[in-house]
Amino acid sequence: MLRRRLDNRDTVPNQSLARGLVILESFSDEAAELGVRELSRLLGLDKSVVHRLARTLAGRGFLEQNPETLRYRIGPRVFQVGQQYAPAARLTGAAQPVLRSLARQHQLNTYLGVLQQGAVLYLLALQSSGPIAIRATPGSRARLHSTALGKVLLAAESDEGAARLLGPDPLTRLTPGTLVEPSAVLAQLPEVRRLGYAISDEENLPGVFAVGAPVRDRSGHVTAAISGASPRWLTPDARVPELARTVLEAAAGISRDLGAPAIDLVSAPRRTR
């Protein structure tokens, strides 16, 4: 497990507040529940300090305690506070009905994500009406280099900006199809910009194919991305142009609702690697 020790910046102006926030940041899909001992080891803090902070957060609803295991998990107050972030609320409000329609009518697992701290932050995740659900939790994070959402967000950056986000080192391999060399991911971006969409072909999850497209704000800048994912065996190559067109049109509809200027969609999208 990744250690999240506090650095010197977290000692001012309010150490207790900084520690409490880092406790909240410690939870993830892989660590949905954490005990005091785990948090103490993760943060490099004394158990008595972690215990006091966790109890305070639980008392305010930001954490809740599993009565059986006594481990902590994120509480409902985190969601309530997050809902007050106006730009995200407007974005999710515009995207949710569109993603729901994609999920129901096209049997796609659909997602809305934004770029945050070098990763994709999921804001929405709606499950398909089809036989297989590809799960992601709002508030969780995904890699830029392996997801269709991530590639769309990278393509919205300059070449230099995308390179900085990826970094110089080999990237994490999540499946046999994951591109782990930053140069290989960067080489895809001109085609993503030209076509207006990106794909992830079993690069993030085995057996999963996804298409992502950009969502633009009233200035025309890419502010988020959506994607539709389905099992690879339900996505033959011949279906990819149709799937890409569907996701592009959905993203364009969300963008219009956000006041973005009209843009031309690619007339005949084709599959790229």
CATH 3.30.450.40 intervals, the chain:
85-257
Quick one: what percent of the chain has pLDDT higher than 70?
A: 87
Sign of CA dihedral 83, 87, 89, 95: negative
φ, ψ at 47 (rounded to 5°): -60, -35
The pLDDT tens digits for 170-221 are 999 999 999 999 999 999 999 999 999 999 999 999 999 999 999 999 999 9
The pLDDT tens digits for 102-142 are 998 988 999 999 998 899 989 999 988 776 667 777 878 89
Terminal-residue alpha carbon distance, the chain: 33
Measured between alpha carbons, how far is 203 from 213 in angstroms, rounded to an integer? Answer: 17
Closest by CA to 145, choosing from 174, 123, 121, is 174
pLDDT recorded at residue 45 = 87
Q: What is the 3-state secondary structure (H, E, C) of 176-196?
A: CCCCCCHHHHHHHHHHHHHHC
pLDDT recorded at residue 86 = 53
Q: Are 198 and 152 in contact (CB under 8 A)?
A: yes
Mean pLDDT of the region 51-78? 89
* Mean pLDDT, the chain, whole residue set: 86
**Structural tokens at position 42:** 């993760």
Q: Are 224 and 217 in contact (CB under 8 A)?
A: no
- How many CB atoms neighbour CB 183 within 10 A? 10
CATH of domain 85-257: 3.30.450.40
* Selected residue with higher pLDDT from 5 and 98: 98
The pLDDT tens digits for 222-252 are 999 999 999 998 888 888 999 999 999 999 9
Q: How confident is the model at residue 269 (pLDDT cuts 50, 70, 90)?
A: very low
Q: Which residues pair with 215 in a beta bridge?
A: 224
CATH 1.10.10.10 intervals, the chain:
8-81
Q: CATH for 8-81, among 1.10.10.10, 3.40.50.300, 3.30.530.20, 1.10.3210.10? A: 1.10.10.10
pLDDT recorded at residue 111 = 95
Q: Are 252 and 265 in contact (CB under 8 A)?
A: yes
Measured between alpha carbons, how far is 168 from 105 in angstroms, rounded to an integer? Answer: 41
pLDDT recorded at residue 81 = 74
What's the Rg (C-alpha) of the chain? 20
